Each structure stands twice: as structure tokens, then as C-alpha cells.
Structure 1
């Protein structure tokens, strides 16, 4: 992808999000783009940064660390870890990311909390919910969600921000909205149960269902292909 094409695709993604917010009756800027840069080279991230993008999502720890080192001169990039997180990778994530979207186990939460340096701000975390109940998907169930949320709220080096989900694919806007509505309702229930938490984040919606997610209150929309083109290994 050339710099010109990246500029055009990023502009188109921003306009799509702006249009979705307007159609949903929400204020401009009420949701932000998270550019999913996994498998994309650091040079593309650098160009997206030059074009004003600041939030980038990575799925693979070592790949992300390599890119972070190459882009260390860009001090205002906000790195989000959005993939499955294994116990042996928690220290790297705790030390090198500002956000984790895929937290679904107390064990992983405790490791992240214990390994987060006191010199860094608290690590922003979203709890991943298996909103469609798929056996193949990561995420905590809605029934287990309050218990996990309560545990994370007691961890001083973590800051619980909200919820994330990747629903099963659906064809129509109506069908796409249903799981996002359930996630929004789950966030509202957590805020009613833990009012001191002030949970403010719904990480939901990708290239195929952005509009449905925005209608239901998404605050971070994860777009990869729509910004960077088809995936390929960068190394």
C-alpha cells in the first residue's frame, strides 16, 4: 500500500465513523478509531501516525515489541493489546502497552497487575465477553462477568475501563445490533453495580459491522483491513 492509498483509506474510515455517529444521533468524536496494525510493518504505522492516527491495536506480543522499538521516537502512540493473552506474555504486555482489550481471566489480570510498574500509569483494561456464546471464542460469559469485574476493580495497577466483544458474524444490521446491545446492557449493569468504577468504554465493531456497533454505543471501533488493506506477514 502506498502512502497515498493509506491516506485515502484512513480518511474514508474516519468519514465512515463520522457518518455512523451522525446517523446514530451521537456527537462527532463520541467514538474513536483503533487502527488494527497486526501483521503490518512499522513503516505503515509511522505513516498513519503522520496522518494523525494515535491508537494502534496489536495481537502478537513479539511482533508488537519489534514495532514499538522501531517507532520509539513517536512518543505519543497509544498501544492496545487486542489478542489472546497467555501467562508467559503478561510481563511484556504489562510493561509495553497502555491498554488490554482481551482480559477474560482473573489469573491473567493478577499477573498484569503484579507486573505493571508503579512508574507507569495504571493499565487500562477491557473485559472480553463471549457475547455470542461461541465455544471457539475467547471471553468471559455474561454470568461470570460481575465476579471478574469485581476482582479487577480491586487491583490497583489495573484500571477497568469497560468491555470488548467479537460477536458471531451476522448479515443484517438488525442481527448485528443484537449482541452489541447485550454488551451495552452488560456495561450499564456493571456501572449500576459498581458506580464508583465509571466504566466508559465499549470496544466493539470492525469493518463489517461498524454501523451496528456505533448505534449501540461503541466508543472504540477496531478497523484493520479498512485502513491498512489485506493482512500479510510483515516479516
Structure 2
């Protein structure tokens, strides 16, 4: 089975100032975000990616480029509009501190499956399109490159949280329990029976173990032996 590496974009100028950027144009990485994206690219340099698929928004494309720059062989690098940020409608561009006073904020926090942004999309629709896109790409890359194929999807916080919730078998109403920080890396393998989640919200650590090859689609009873990193030695 193929492996998808979910990468959130680095910190943006809107993140740094407490604005809900949404799909606003001209929102780029700030210096902290560029440093975060560079670290993500460094971590993934040990992983031979067949593709880096990005949201069309600038902050994601910038983050994707840091990943692409550290790959030995240039991977396929398409833009997928289905991985774009949630359409927050009339909430877009407003301060989070102001939005937190609105009644809808409580719905977004406690019952996101019932939340629809005024003039925008619902979180349920957002999740459906994002999960469908990731599963479609994953199946295509596995078909073309085999079960050991690894690829990255560079997207946004709520998008990645919703994909992880689906992979974990969680109802969308629980997706706010998942944290996905700027330039964090999460890892999912979709099997024939069920997905396996290997990492959530990591911002440090060796990822060379991903290059060791395909894994069984069955969950190891008892937890298994785990994986070896490049710093692990055998007796």
C-alpha cells in the first residue's frame, strides 16, 4: 500500500497576526514559516517521494517547494484544487478573536459536522472533498509506482485534521481533538481493509525508516517490533 505524508504549510503572515486567511490571495510564509518548511524539507529528504501534491494557495506551494528542493530525483508536483483551504465565506480575513464571539464558533468547536460558514462551505463538504482527493491520488500512485510508493500532500490545518479523522475512524464532530501545527508531518497508509495512521503532528524526528519498504496491511498483534531509524544500531 502507498504512503501519504500530510504536510501542513509553514506559519503564514495571517497565522502570525491572528487572522483567518482562508482562500485570501497574497498570504505567504513569514520567516518563521520558511524556517519551518525548510525543516520539513530536510526531514523528508531521506524519503524518495514519487509526488508532492499541493493546495493551490501560495503558502502551500512555497512549503511544497522546500520539500521538492531537497529531493534527489524531482518528483511529480501537481496542484490540486481539492486540497485547498476550507471556504470560510464571510469569516475569511477576520480576526480569530472576533470570530470567537460568534454563536457559530461554538458549533465549529463542539459539533463541526453541523457547521456551515456563511457564504462558504460546510466542514462536512470540506472533509468529503479532501478525503476523496487524497484517496484518489493514493490509489493512482500505488497503481503506477507499486505498494512502496510514498508521496506528500501539502495542505491546510482543517483539511489535514479532517483527513486524519477519517483515517482514524473518528466522527467529524471529534476532529477538533486533533492538532496539526505549521509544517507538521502526519503519515497515513491506506490498506485494503483499513487505514493505518503512523504519525500525527510531528515537527521533528528521523523519517528514513519510511524508505525501508512496504509494510503489511494487517495491524501487528501486540504492537510489533516497530521501525529502525538511521540512528538505530543492531546488536
| TM-score normalised according to structure 2 size | 0.31
Using CA pairs under 8 Å that are at least 6 residues apart, name the structure with larger relative contact order, 1 or 2.
2
| TM-score normalised according to structure 1 size | 0.31
